[in-house]
Amino acid sequence: MFIQPGELLAQINSPADLKKFSKDSLVQICDELRQFIIDNVSVYGGHFSASLGVVELTVALHYVLNTPEDQLVWDVGHQAYGHKILTGRRENFHTNRLYGGLSGFPKRKESIYDTFGVGHSSTSISAALGMAVASQYKGLEAKQHVAVIGDGSMTGGMAFEAMNHAGVSDTNLLIILNDNCMAIDPNVGALKDYLTDITTSKTYNKAKDEIWKILGKLSKFGTSAQDVISKVEGGIKSALLNQSNLFESLNLRYFGPVDGHDVNHLAEILKDLKDIPGPKILHCVTMKGKGYAPAEKGNQTTWHAPGTFDKVTGEIYKSTPSTPQAPKYQDVFGHTLVELAELDDRIMGVTPAMPSGSSMNIMMKAMPDRAFDVGIAEQHAVTFSAGLATQGLVPFCNIYSTFMQRAYDQVLHDVCLQNLPVVFCLDRAGFAGADGPTHHGAYDIAFFRCIPNLVVSAPMNEEELRNMMYSASIHNGPYSIRYPRGKGVMPDWKTPFDKIPLGQGRIVKEGEEIAILTIGHIGNYAVDACGKLAKEGVHPAHYDMRFVKPLDEELLHEIFGKFKKVITVEDGCLMGGFGSAVIEWMMDHGYQAQVKRLGIPDEVVEHGEQIELHRACGFDPEGIAATVRSMAAVVKTT
Which sequence positions are flagged as catalytic?
Answer: 288, 378, 406
Spatial contact of 410 and 386, defined as CB atoms under 8 Å apart: yes
Q: β-strand 547-549 against 455-457: which pairing, if any?
A: antiparallel
Q: β-strand 145-150 against 173-179: which pairing, if any?
A: parallel
- Which residues 6+ apart lie within 8 Å of 305 measured at CB? 45, 46, 47, 48
Q: β-strand 347-351 against 280-285: which pairing, if any?
A: unpaired
- Which residues 6+ apart lie within 8 Å of 150 measured at CB? 50, 75, 76, 79, 121, 177, 178, 179, 180, 182, 183
DSSP alpha helix (H) spans, 9-156: 15-19, 26-44, 49-53, 55-64, 81-84, 124-138
Distance, in Å, from the CA atom of 348 to the CA atom of 433, rounded to the nearest integer, reads 30
> By C-alpha distance, which of 568, 340, 564 is closest to 465?
340
| Helix (H) or strand (E) run with residue 599 in it | strand 594-600
Q: What values do phi and psi take at 176, rounded to 5?
A: -105, 115
Spatial contact of 248 and 254, defined as CB atoms under 8 Å apart: yes
Q: What values do phi and psi take at 633, rounded to 5?
A: 55, 40
Distance, in Å, from the CA atom of 410 to the CA atom of 381, rounded to the nearest integer, reads 9
Spatial contact of 477 and 501, defined as CB atoms under 8 Å apart: no
Cα→Cα distances 276→164, 173, 227, 267, Å: 20, 10, 11, 15
Longest dimension (CA), the chain: 87
> By C-alpha distance, which of 323, 321, 343, 339 is closest to 331?
339
Assess whether the previous peptide bond of 550 is cis (omega < 30° from 0). yes
Spatial contact of 445 and 599, defined as CB atoms under 8 Å apart: no
Question: For every residue of 182-245, which 3-state class applies, written as one string?
Answer: ECCCECCCHHHHHHHHHHHCHHHHHHHHHHHHHHHHHHHHCHHHHHHHHHHHHHHHHHHHCCCC
> By C-alpha distance, which of 27, 2, 29 is closest to 15?
29
| Helix (H) or strand (E) run with residue 371 in it | strand 371-373
Burial 51-74 (b: 16+ CB within 10 A, else e): bbbbbbbbbbbbbbbebeebbbbb
Spatial contact of 333 and 398, defined as CB atoms under 8 Å apart: yes
Spatial contact of 555 and 527, defined as CB atoms under 8 Å apart: no
CB atoms within 10 A of CB 416: 20
Q: What values do phi and psi take at 257, rounded to 5?
A: -75, 150
DSSP class of residue 304?
A: G
Spatial contact of 274 and 170, defined as CB atoms under 8 Å apart: no
DSSP class of residue 423?
A: E
Spatial contact of 118 and 71, defined as CB atoms under 8 Å apart: no
Distance, in Å, from the CA atom of 377 to the CA atom of 188, rounded to the nearest integer, reads 11
